[in-house]
Structure 1
């Protein structure tokens, strides 16, 4: 745009944090808009895409696809997936991978070249390996049943909680969009999102628990010939024991939240009430099992203040879990008898 004197006039665009330029590529008989998005939190990726579509439609044109050059954070794709899921009347609490695939398909990110999430999404490209959670179900069960002490009860407790949170999310997702549940649609959609976060955190805890146990095993291998070596080894062991107690404590706290979500899921699709009940059972098992693993590590810890604090916390977690599980059980039994 130029003024009467031929000087370039800058006019604010429609979107903040966006720098873009467009041109026509005669060889391909199409126009291309090249965009630098400098703050996806303020201006979401899907907002930019939809704005370009809107402007193109004013000119009688259609956006045929898009491409991300380089790597992209996971969040803008997940948020795009939630946005498009919401537009179609679906729950925003779908699994992360499903939301990302929704974003890839709707944004047309596969239109120019294959969008390999393991290479294009930053968090996936730099992710630490998860030896246990990357196994098949059979592979994990076989690993648990071997003569190795890890994975053990702590990892299994975390998995139980993850399954409980997953079932709670499933019930919510089976409810959103169903006739007769309009009053709880938004609540359960939000609940499903939260349940997915808890599920993912507990899935990570499966490997974290085994890693904490392995740290203790490594400390036990330290030399103990000299007095200095003995002191260093004992300190490493004490740190390891504390970590081995703190990791399952966090697991228990997450499982308790999964249990609360299972109770919330009782508001959902009545055809899935037993799924909500099983979610509660799994989450309660996760709380109790994780607390067992906290308590079993306390006997070797010399910090009495730490020990007493952990005992108090586990007692509260177990009681809260028992109370919630009892409420869930009564409602489920009443519904199916």
Structure 2
């Protein structure tokens, strides 16, 4: 590790001095979307993968690529299409000639990088989507019985189009649960959209300058896990996720009525870990319930599955999470 980042206090100071610079660099190419940007950065510092959901043309790919430049991460992009095969992601063995004769040699796929952009992930069938599971969970790829470890840090940032669009495949629940966040990106305000059009139809702006290194990202991830959390805050995160599960003792009536499947233990883990990263990024050395509440939607929205009754009555996952946060039993 670099001598400039040797202690926890130095890492903390480095985060605070770098935060404003990161936001300044992103503002060169990204207009608005401050909440989306913050959630992506928190996921990065927490060491989690992130799903970005939004219609085409909302700068999802540009945002991910800009983050990779700022943190000096090796970047690969895979355009997910209906004919994409698992080996196109993980790599494959090819027959090569050597002095000892012919042999099979593993050729790594684009997943061997620091930051993988899985673009329009829900345009490929579940069989190909599942090729990411082992890499996301264990940071390794197994091919022909051999284990290939991925370089750290490793992140998957996946974009997906709304499921109502043509040619999309719903992601399996096991795949969705591997993502720390599901971040929603929406259309800009009129003022911000005018600024986007002005910038993109003029000459190219200033290039993005790097702020952190991959080594520093690893150091920050280590510090994130050192941030103290009280038992009271952990209990709040656990109660919140347990309350989303229908037919459980903690489930309120509206959950039993509208929810088909609730969040599991991994959601509570995600809430606490992401809350640590958010607190650290914003200059606090402890976690409160406020961070849990702030991150409840990106953590839970892809882990709660509503039933047909909810759809018929116009209920959304967002409204269910809002009602859960207002539940007196959680306070």
User: After TM superposition, is the score higher than 0.5?
Assistant: no
Higher helix share: 1
Higher strand share: 2
What is the TM-score of this pair, normalised by structure 2? 0.29
What is the TM-score of this pair, normalised by structure 1? 0.28
Select the structure of larger CA radius of gyration: 1
